[in-house]
Structure 1
């Protein structure tokens, strides 16, 4: 079926980088972590990946909680699982965690993110967002980067109380955009392959960027309509695909 000129983006991890979080962990705990043989980036990555899993598990079990609450609550558990840290709450103080969470509110756009959005808009596409993060925080990321993003085009899983990748999280926006565009199918774009894969199963066209995960494991997640290593390149391929179909 023909695709429409609507692209729904995941935001955090896709257009927005985690680098400021990892750098904050390094600034606050880096020397202590390295003394235990733990790279600050590894702690940050394990914390983020586990939070995404537990957020999803809570959602599918009927106990939906906002992602940021899940993320913050898991910090000491993940720290204690790093190995060698017997008392995580003595190793890192509440003030340390508060500092890191404050910096988490100030994540920045990936290189090429603004160009990606602009390329699509210049080609006549309407850009949307479906995020697990709270709308105020995500809206602040765009505002800080100087990227105009209409509030009505920014949606959070918090509103429906269903987290991605539950297919029910994608369907309301999919149905809205499909009906409004005469049955044409909108795009979903992300740097999380599980996210694009689920969106495709829900009915979206899928665009995947390897900027975060590096490898496109299509043997696990299935084929995508578009794959590229950069955000601007992904936008160009969406535009080209639209022109050919």
Structure 2
């Protein structure tokens, strides 16, 4: 079936980088962490990965909680996993509040604005589908000066079903397919678990290695498009679309 000129992006981790958060952890706790043999960047990655897992587990068991709530709650547990014996003495509530405040100020990746503009110039409509809250994600785009209409910004919070549950993708897929004469929209992400799940639900899949570096197609399957940069991924989506018209 033909694809449509609609691209649904994952946002945090894909168009938006985690770097600001990880740098905030370093500023606040970096010296203390390194004294314990823990790289601040690795702690941030472990924290993010743990939160994604528990967010998904809660959703699958019918106990959906917003991602930021899960993320904040897991901080001291992740410190424990890092070998900190008394995590609540090691990091104060004020430390956690500072880091969570900085989490509101993530920035777009280099090339993200160019990626979106390339697609729009080629006649594509850009959508966002995020596990984050809509207000926070909207703020990321506003600060970067990239327009994203409110009606094109969708969150898992609305239905209370988290990605990668296929039931999270299906309403978005069905809506865009119905609105565009049965043509299949694209889903684009830098998380292979996310875009591969969207592809299982019925989307065309575009993956960028900017975050994970290793596609691991032996685990997640093939993609319609893979590129190392966001603008390159946009170019390949455009070329793929043109070749199938």
Q: TM-score, normalised by structure 1?
A: 0.99
| Structure 1 equivalent of residue 155 of structure 2 | 156
Unaligned runs of at least 5 residues, structure 1: none
| Structure 2 equivalent of residue 207 of structure 1 | 206
| Structure 2 equivalent of residue 15 of structure 1 | 15
Question: 1:30-69 CA deviation, whole Å, 9 max, x = no partner?
Answer: 0000000110001000000000000000000000000000
3-state SS of paired residue (1:130): strand
Q: Is 1:75 matched with 2:81?
A: no
Measured in 2, the distance between the counterparts of 1:86 and 1:206 equals 43
Deviation at 1:199, TM superposition (A): 0.2
Question: 1:196-238 CA deviation, whole Å, 9 max, x = no partner?
Answer: 0000000000000000000111100000000000000000000
Q: TM-score, normalised by structure 2?
A: 0.99
3-state SS of paired residue (1:208): strand
Measured in 2, the distance between the counterparts of 1:110 and 1:194 equals 20
Deviation at 1:144, TM superposition (A): 0.3
Residues matched between the structures, number? 244
3-state SS of paired residue (1:98): helix
| Structure 1 equivalent of residue 195 of structure 2 | 196
Counterparts of residues 100-111 of structure 1 (less than 5 Å): 100-111=99-110
The CA RMSD over aligned residues, in Å, is: 0.3
3-state SS of paired residue (1:24): helix
Measured in 1, the distance between the counterparts of 2:165 and 2:172 equals 13
| Structure 2 equivalent of residue 96 of structure 1 | 95
Deviation at 1:132, TM superposition (A): 0.0
Measured in 1, the distance between the counterparts of 2:53 and 2:87 equals 21
Q: Which runs of 4+ in 1 moved over 3 A?
A: none
| Structure 1 equivalent of residue 220 of structure 2 | 221
Measured in 2, the distance between the counterparts of 1:223 and 1:32 equals 42
3-state SS of paired residue (2:223): coil
Measured in 2, the distance between the counterparts of 1:98 and 1:89 equals 13
Unaligned runs of at least 5 residues, structure 2: none
Q: Is 1:118 matched with 2:117?
A: yes
3-state SS of paired residue (1:207): strand
Measured in 2, the distance between the counterparts of 1:175 and 1:81 equals 41
